Amino acid sequence: MFTATLTLDPAFRVGPVRRRTFGSFVEHLGRCVYTGIHDPSHPSADADGFRQDVIELTRQLGVSTVRYPGGNFVSGYRWEDGIGPVDRRPRRLDLAWHSTEPNLVGVDEFMRWAAAAQVEPMMAVNLGTRGVQEALDLLEYCNVPGGTALSDLRRANGAQAPYKVTMWCLGNEMDGPWQIGHKTAHEYGRLAAETARAMRMIDPDLELVASGSSGVGMPTFGEWEQTVLTEAYEQVDMISAHAYYCEQDGDLGSFLASALDMDHFITSVAATADAVRAHKKLSKRIAISFDEWNVWYQHRAESQPPTGDDWPVAPVLLEDRYNVADAVVVGSLLISLLRHTDRVAAASLAQLVNVIAPIMTEPSGRSWKQTIFHPFAQASSAAVGDVLEVAIDVPTYETTKFGDAPLVDAVATHDPETGAVALFAVNRSTAQEARLEVDLRSIPALRLTSASTLSNPDHTWQATVDDDSSVAPRSNATATVEDGRLSLTVPPVSWNVVRLGL
Ligand code: AHR
């Protein structure tokens, strides 16, 4: 066992807890939409064919925003294909995922789903095969109250009130050579600036996200952000970041330290944006929309799209099964996102259902929670008020990928209104328990509300449709609070949440 000494103090405030940190993502990819959120043959399906069991799990997960409809899919998408009478909608080739898109779900259905799930929609426009006009058309269809061709078309399609979508992504991963309509930073920056400028002529209050790097390891990383923001700084509010991690070659130590890479990604993008701000002599700051993040085993067979003449509808794709270590990494990535709440204004766990997802479904059958469901749901429910940086004194360990990594990472939240405190902590040690000694004296009179731990002697344990609960967060009976000091023992490879109140 080793000891980690942590100090909490309301003076270490980073910024507010933002509900939008707990966003997710629904893409027309694999079984995310069809047999995921939408399955008319399911016993719980509503009039639109949406599964109520999935809506209930989405609520339990505590999702705030949902990005839609892609992802790589959006870069070839014609949004008009998905409106009007369903039986007259075209079937199209989806080049991004070598699938057939039946267009049974489009923008109107998605907005009804979002309302039912009580999530804020975040829309993405196609800047791969399309441009300014089509983005304006979609915005008119969604947000103009009425009296124009496209807003009246929406009304004729059943939605009298505008959808009032605030957050819009200007394309997706335009830096990636795999993207349909991939562009250079300069080409994309110009297009993003002009699309944003025109969209603001319809609605000046939009929150617009420029497409940033699809990974910190991209050869154009840094230069991409600098060029795109040089073109579009005045017109956008956020720049996106995407990151996926996985355990490679049995290197669990590096995998558990993945949040160091996310920290580096966030601080690098912020520094680059601030450098452009300085050059332009502006006061406005660009925030980060971390609108794709998760664990994803991209090299595995289930992530390979079909090939040749096979263009299936809703194939099994990217259906990763997550284990306990994956859940601990997801928890540590949430710690990183919260710790940077001064800069990360929105984030989306990619994705929501079936596709690299916390929620899984059987077609017409059962739905269940993967291990990664739990840290997300717990953090979304417990993080309230202000984010506090936690001072941590803990030994480090050496990783192959990221150098020295602290064995324990943590962040806390403090609600100044109720006095409630939540501490989120991971133990990255693969072999040793950690004794957490937490100094709470700067917030007097705190008492323990609950302490829970997610871990398992076998960190490769995965949930299944038949057993998604025998390994779930369990009460941690070692937690005590005495004289302003919280102590608890946490197992190796664990995610831990302690809640305290006055
Ligand atoms: O989330 C899966 C895919 O990952 C998205 O379509 C794309 O944007 C990213 O490369």
Tell me whether residue 173 is one of the annotated catalytic residues. Answer: yes
Q: Are 412 and 421 in contact (CB under 8 A)?
A: yes
Fold of the 18-382 domain = TIM Barrel (3.20.20)
Please give the distance, rounded to the nearest whole angstrom, from the Cα atom of residue 297 to the centre of ligand 1: 12
Q: From the CA of 71, how far away is ligand 1's center (Å)?
A: 5
Q: Is the pLDDT of residue 494 over 90?
A: yes
Most ligand 1 atoms within 8 A of CB, residue of 174, 182, 292 to mutate: 292
Atom 2 of ligand 1, residue of closest alpha carbon: 71
Most ligand 1 atoms within 8 A of CB, residue of 27, 218, 245 to mutate: 27
What is the mean predicted confidence (pLDDT) over 180-207?
A: 98
C-beta 30 within 6 A of ligand 1: no
CB 11 within 8 A of CB 444: no
User: Ligand 1: which of 29, 33, 72, 293 to mutate, most ligand atoms within 8 Å of CB?
Assistant: 72
Cα 32 to ligand 1 centroid, rounded to whole Å: 12
* DSSP state for residue 42 in the 8-state scheme: S
Ligand 1 centroid to Cα of residue 72, in Å, is 6
User: Ligand 1 pocket, 413 CB below 6 A?
Assistant: no
Closest to 344 in 3D by CA, of 264, 272, 238, 201: 238
Does the beta carbon of 70 lie inside 6 Å of ligand 1? Answer: yes
Cα distance between residue 364 and residue 366, in whole Å: 7
Which residues lie closer than 8 Å to 295 by C-beta, 6 or more apart?
Answer: 244, 245, 246, 320, 322, 326, 329, 330, 356, 372
Contact 175, 214 (CB under 8 A): yes
Q: Is 305 in the pocket of ligand 1 (CB under 6 A)?
A: no
Q: Does 348 contact ligand 1 (Cβ within 6 A)?
A: no
Query: Which atom, in ligand 1's list, is nearest to the CA of 70?
Result: 6
Q: Which fold has domain 2-9+387-501?
A: Immunoglobulin-like (2.60.40)
pLDDT digit string, tens, across residues 248-295: 999 999 999 999 999 999 999 999 999 999 999 999 999 999 999 999
Neighbours of 500 (CB within 10 A): 25
**Taking 90 as the threshold, does the pLDDT of residue 446 lie above it?**
yes
Question: Which amino acid makes up residue 115?
Answer: A
pLDDT band for position 371 (50/70/90)?
Answer: very high
Q: With bands split at pLDDT 50, 70 and 90, how would you rate the model's confidence at 320?
A: very high
Is there an atom of ligand 1 within 6 Å of 24 CB? no
**How does the average pLDDT of the chain come out, rounded?**
97
Separation of CA 351 and ligand 1 centre (Å)? 9
Which member of 27, 80, 231, 292 is catalytic?
Answer: 292
Residue 309's pLDDT is what?
95
Question: What CA–CA distances, in Å, run from 40 to 35, 338, 443?
Answer: 8, 37, 52
Q: Is 292 in the pocket of ligand 1 (CB under 6 A)?
A: yes
Ligand 1 pocket check for 350: Cβ under 6 Å = yes
Q: Is the CB of 375 under 6 A from ligand 1?
A: no
pLDDT at res. 303: 87
Task: Please state, for a pLDDT cut of 70, what percent of the chain lies above it.
Answer: 100
Q: Which of 80, 109, 134, 173 is catalytic?
A: 173
Question: Helix/strand/coil (H, E, C) string of 137-201?
Answer: HHHHHHHCCCCCHHHHHHHHCCCCCCCCCCEEEECCCCCCCCCCCCCCHHHHHHHHHHHHHHHHH
The residue whose CA is least distant from atom 1 of ligand 1 is: 350
Report CA(488)–ligand 1 centroid distance (Å): 39
Q: Which atom of ligand 1 is nearest to the CA of 356?
A: 1
- Whether residue 71 has its Cβ less than 6 Å from ligand 1: yes
Contact 384, 422 (CB under 8 A): yes
CA–centroid distance, 4 to ligand 1, in Å, is: 37
pLDDT at 301 over 90: no
The per-residue pLDDT for range 24-43, each reduced to its tens digit, is: 999 999 999 999 999 999 99
Tell me, what's the pLDDT at 241?
98
Q: Which atom of ligand 1 is nearest to the CA of 178?
A: 10
53 touches ligand 1 (CB under 6 Å): no
Query: Is the distance from the beta carbon of residue 72 to the nearest atom of ligand 1 less than 6 Å?
Result: yes
Residue 116: its pLDDT value, please? 97
Is 302's pLDDT higher than 90?
no
Matching fold, domains 2-9+387-501 and 18-382: no
pLDDT score at 100:
98
pLDDT for residue 442 is more than 90: yes
Tokens encoding 286: 């660009």
Report whether residue 214 contacts ligand 1, using a CB cutoff of 6 Å.
Answer: yes
Q: Establish whether 398 is a catalytic residue.
A: no
pTM above 0.95, yes or no: yes
Residue range 210-221, pLDDT digits in tens: 999 999 999 999
The predicted structure's pLDDT at residue 475 = 98
Q: How far apart are CA 246 and CA 260, in angstroms?
A: 14
- Pairing state of beta strands 408-414 and 474-475? unpaired
Looking at the predicted structure, is the pLDDT value of residue 346 above 90? yes
Instruction: State yes or no: pLDDT of 184 exceeds 90.
Output: yes
User: Which residue has a Cα nearest atom 7 of ligand 1?
Assistant: 71
Does residue 27's CB lie within 6 angstroms of at least one atom of ligand 1?
yes
* Residue 54 pLDDT > 90: yes
Going by the DSSP 8-state scheme, the letter that residue 52 receives in this structure is H
Tell me the CA–centroid distance for residue 222 and ligand 1, in Å: 20
Query: From the CA of 471, how far away is ligand 1's center (Å)?
Result: 29
Q: Looking at residues 131-144, what average pLDDT do you find?
A: 98
| Residue-range domain boundaries for the chain | 2-9+387-501, 18-382
